[in-house]
Structure 1
Amino acid sequence: MPTTLPVPIEFRLPEGWQPAPPDEVGAPGVAFVALHPQPDSGFTANITIDGEYRPDEVTLDELADASVERLREAGESVVVAARREIGPEGAPGLTQRVSFSAVAGGVRRELVQSQVYLSMLDVHDPRKRAVIRMVLTATAEQHDDVLGDFQEFLRTVGPDTAAGS
Structure 2
Amino acid sequence: MATTLPVKIEFSLPEGWQPAPPDEVGAPGVAFIALHPESRDGFTANITIAGKLYEETDLVSMADASVQRLGEAATVRVAERKEVGNAEAPALAQTLRISTSLHGRLLELVQSQVYLLMQDVHDPTRRAVIELVLTAKPTQLDLVVEDFKDFVRSLRPADPSAG
Q: With the length of structure 2 as denominator, give the TM-score of the two structures.
A: 0.94
Aligned residue for 1:67, secondary structure, equals helix
Change (3 A) 1:163 1:114: farther
User: Separation in 1 of the partners of 2:58 and 2:137?
Assistant: 29
Does the aligned pair in 2 maintain the 1:40–1:139 contact within 8 Å?
no
Q: Can you list the C-alpha shifts for 1:25-62, whole angstroms capped at 9, x where unaligned? A: 1000100000002234310000000000002x240000
User: Matches of residues 74-113 of structure 1 in structure 2 within 5 Å?
Assistant: 74-76=73-75, 78-113=76-111
**Residue 135 (structure 2) pairs with residue 141 (structure 1):** no
The residue that corresponds to 1:63 in the other structure is: 62
The two structures, once aligned, show a CA RMSD in angstroms of 1.4
**Amino acid across the alignment from 2:28:** P
The residue that corresponds to 1:73 in the other structure is: 72
TM-superposed CA distance for 1:71, in Å, is 1.0
Q: Which runs of 5+ in 2 are unaligned?
A: none
TM-superposed CA distance for 1:124, in Å, is 3.0
User: Separation in 2 of the partners of 1:127 and 1:17?
Assistant: 34
The residue that corresponds to 2:26 in the other structure is: 26
- Across the two proteins, how many residue pairs are aligned to each other? 163
User: Separation in 1 of the partners of 2:19 and 2:104?
Assistant: 23
User: Separation in 2 of the partners of 1:114 and 1:97?
Assistant: 5
The residue that corresponds to 1:35 in the other structure is: 35
Aligned residue for 1:47, secondary structure, equals strand
Q: With the length of structure 1 as denominator, give the TM-score of the two structures.
A: 0.93
* Identity rate, percent: 59
Does the aligned pair in 1 maintain the 2:49–2:132 contact within 8 Å?
yes
The residue that corresponds to 2:5 in the other structure is: 5
